[in-house]
Chains A and B, each alone.
Chain A
Amino acid sequence: MENRNFHQTFFLTRFSLKRDWLKLTIWSGLLVVLFGAVAAKFTTIYDSQASINEIVKTLKSPSMVSLFGKLPGSGPYNTADVFAGEMTVFMAIIAAVMNFSIIIKNTRGEEDSGLLEIIQSHSVGKLSNLSASLIELFIINLLIGLLYGVGLQVADLAGTDTNGNFLLGLGLGAAGFMYAAIAAFLAQLVDNSRSVTIWSYVILGLMYIARMTTDVSHPKATWYVPFGWVEKFSTYQDNNWTPVFLMLGLSLILSVAALWINNHRDIGSGIIATKPGRAKATIFLRGPLSLFWRLHRTTIIVWVIGLLVLGFTYGSIFNTIGDILKTNPAMKQLVGTAAVHKANVLIIKQFVALLMIVFGVLALFPGMQIINYLKTGENKGYLELIHSKPVSRTYLFTSVLILGSLTSLIALLAGMWGLQLGGASVMKHPIELSVFLRGFYAYISPVMIMLGISAFIIGWIPKISVIGYLYAGFALFVEYFGKLIDLPKWISKLTPFGYINKVPVHQLDIETLWWQLALAAILIILGYIGYHIRDLNSAN
């Protein structure tokens, strides 16, 4: 007898694949091309042993270990080792973003929108939708993993072997599926898709921080962090498949748990139930600004605290990074204590300069999300009643703009403050806050341009509002990775971040600040005009 709980699962899987084909094609195309292109590029950048030794020295420094993971094994290293060392952690993060977005939309998202209810009313098993979503993502991650492997075979980096190519490829695929399973599990616990997204990223963030901390102090302990398993492939060195099975095992456990909970709960509910609330609005909830604050409160708090914690964690490895004597003990005799301290501080500043883009882009996301609410809220029909009240469009636009900009800037500030606090907690002579604030001041203008772009899009073509996020992701990739993969300089000039001085190593450049703020202002004004004259959308 067939199991009624899973009735029509494969039909739904086919249906999901058909419905999502464009999204899936774009994601996998993007990932595979990115991966393959970087691999192909590596053969030209790191063609000599000298250049490889140079980059290996950089990658072995604690700051790089904290960002990209620990380079496995021992030398002599070759191009393939460098590639695996630089790309593994980064690709795992992108895989998490992709899997979160797809599975949350297809499970809890469908439930929120009521689509699942329509599907369930047909001859479909109770668990079919969840299992179909999991199967869909398993297929797509497997495919991406295989394509990674094939891509590496084709790129044929010096020092690769077939076993390692497919280990890295399929391992990253397994990592992707593990994130899908994590989100699918969380989707059973809370009762709306936004909370699932927040929780998924909180867990990803915690795992990232955990692996960073263990990588710089006790690399063995990274085995306890699922995020860190990708580093333990030891690709092209030991080619260890154990982590792949660990990830698949964890995915299986989480999937079964998710299915079990799904089977034991009502549609639309979570384990954590919704409590009754106030019978009347508080004095505080009185207009668009307070409404938008109320709606985004959790998101804002999570991001600000998240960046504070991330900053603190990076700051707490300053003593390891800024310890030049560790790598060069003779230095003290040569230049004296004061000079050593100065050199240490410079290394830390350089490390922070590299980190700035991470904080800048992460701080952008909640701000953009708030500005884009004028579109999401419109499409979901939430704003239709607001539009019928004596509230001008200018006022609405101003409200999201103020809240969005403040959120981004405060999140950025929280990151900088976290760095200082983290540093102060481990260093004998902590770096003053003013040094980090230099970074904050310099990043105000590019952040405002990016938010200005979102405001402009919301004003004129809200349909493509996702471009803001993509552009921010592009900026992160270019600034963070650009130097390692030797991208041409002009590419960095394609985003406003590329014009910023290397802060806090250098001082803030006033001229850049002014022209960028002027550009941001122009974009925002244009956005106002567009929002004032365009039709507003409705839910149907």
Chain B
Amino acid sequence: MMAQENNAILHIDHLQKRFGKFQALKNVTFDVYPGEIFGFIGPNGAGKSTTIRTLLGILRASGGTATLFGKDVYKDSVSIHKKLAYVPGDVYLWPNLTGGEIIGLFLKLGNTKHSAKTDEMIKRFQLDTTKKARTYSKGNRQKVALVAAFSTDADFYIFDEPTSGLDPLNEEIFQKSVLELKQAGKAVLLSSHILSEVEKMCDRIGIIRDGEIVETGSLSDMRHLTRTVIQFQTMEPTTELKGLDGVHNIVLGSNGLTTFSVDSDQMSSVMDYLSSKKIVSLQSTPPTLEDLFMRYYNSNEGR
């Protein structure tokens, strides 16, 4: 683990950010490694964009440290940005410039040029670059930023809800392009609300709530922390089920099937109980990211 920490591209340790009296980030800690797609999820207002803007040196941290390529994100922002590409959630473009002009400008600001890769990305996303930005839809504005980011040769990519305006076809192109980055050994920080996307693409996930990272790890790591949904039928009545530790949300179905969810660490004792009642049928569903998500998003639970 120590060895891995040393080669982390992004290293965040107890990052804090205060706006006046409001503590937007209380404790954000996570790392991102090369060749990894890190999913960054959490409810609206939890601090995702604040974290990202701090990483970009747009906001100044009130406490803790954050380094990219081993350099301080605020002090060394200029040299860090040479190897970084970013796509914000809401892309605002100068209305009187064309998409092509803006892409060219962004590339030149990053000391690169309009290349064959750029043309390929424009073709992939089917963007009309001769149009003025004021005529673009939200999805088209995002495409402009995506084309510029994907045709930049960076080592670290940040995407803040990049597909919220894209149609499913373009969403798939986006996913394909991100996976290509991963194969090339780049590190990606992907903040998203589209859980299927995160589940499909991300190697590891960090969940943020109220300015705190409440969970990090791979999806399979996290499944241990959550509940499995069980649907069953037994010969004998299971009246004591309600009283068992770790059992929640019991629903009696009209077809004689009972459904409940169980905390992963109480699984074996609950199963013992059920088998003692002579199981007729049993079906278990592993928690999806959505379940995890709901559990952490619901402010009454998961603390």
Contacts and interface: CB of A to CB of B under 8 A. Distances in A.
Interface of A: 112, 191-192, 274-282, 285-288, 291, 294-295, 380-382, 384-392, 533-536, 538-540
A280 B110 contact: no
B94 interface: yes
Nearest to A276: B130
Contacts of A276: 98, 130-132
8 contacts: A112-B95, A192-B96, A277-B97, A287-B109, A380-B92, A382-B93, A392-B77, A392-B78
B92 A382 contact: yes
Contacts of B86: 385, 388
B58 A538 contact: yes
Contact of A279 (B56, B81, B91, B129): B129
Interface SS of chain A: loop
A444 to B, nearest CB: 31
A282 B132 CA distance: 15
Contacts of B95: 112, 192
Given A276-B132, A390-B79, A390-B82, A536 B111 contact: no
Contacts of B92: 380-382, 384, 539
Interface string B129-163: 11110110000000001001000000000100000
B60 A278 contact: no
9 tightest Cβ-Cβ pairs between the two chains A and B: A281-B104, A381-B92, A388-B86, A277-B98, A390-B81, A389-B109, A279-B100, A281-B101, A390-B82
Nearest to B89: A540
Contact of B94 (A191, A287, A295, A392): A295
A384 B88 contact: yes
A322 B85 CA distance: 64
B134 A192 contact: yes
Contacts of A191: 134
Contact of A385 (B59, B77, B79, B106): B106
B108 interface: yes
A455 B154 CA distance: 33
Interface residues of B, number: 48
A281 B105 contact: yes
Given A387-B56, A388-B56, A277 B101 contact: yes
A274 B132 contact: yes
Contact of B81 (A275, A287, A295, A391): A391
A458 to B, nearest CB: 16
B35 interface: no
B58 A279 contact: no
Contact of B105 (A275, A285, A380, A539): A285
A414 B40 CA distance: 55
Nearest to B152: A389
A287 B108 contact: yes
Contacts of A278: 98, 100-101, 130
Nearest to B82: A390
Given A286-B105, A385-B145, 15 more contacts: A191-B134, A192-B134, A276-B132, A277-B97, A277-B101, A281-B100, A286-B108, A287-B109, A294-B97, A385-B106, A386-B109, A391-B81, A535-B19, A536-B58, A538-B49
Contacts of A386: 109
B114 interface: yes
Nearest to A379: B92
Contacts of A274: 132, 134-135
Contact of B60 (A286, A535, A539): A535
A264 B86 CA distance: 41
A396 to B, nearest CB: 11
A390 B78 contact: yes
B103 interface: yes
A372 B88 CA distance: 23
A384 B86 CA distance: 10
A385 B91 contact: yes
Contacts of B108: 281, 285-287
Contacts of B217: none
B78 A385 contact: no
Contacts of B41: none
Contacts of B132: 274-277
B90 interface: yes
Contacts of A539: 90, 92
Contacts of B100: 277-281
B232 to A, nearest CB: 47
B166 interface: no
Contacts of B135: 274
A384 B145 CA distance: 11
A384 B148 CA distance: 14
B84 interface: yes
B125 to A, nearest CB: 14
Interface in B171-205: none
A387 B106 CA distance: 11
Nearest to B56: A388
A390 B106 CA distance: 10
B104 A285 contact: yes
Contacts of B117: none
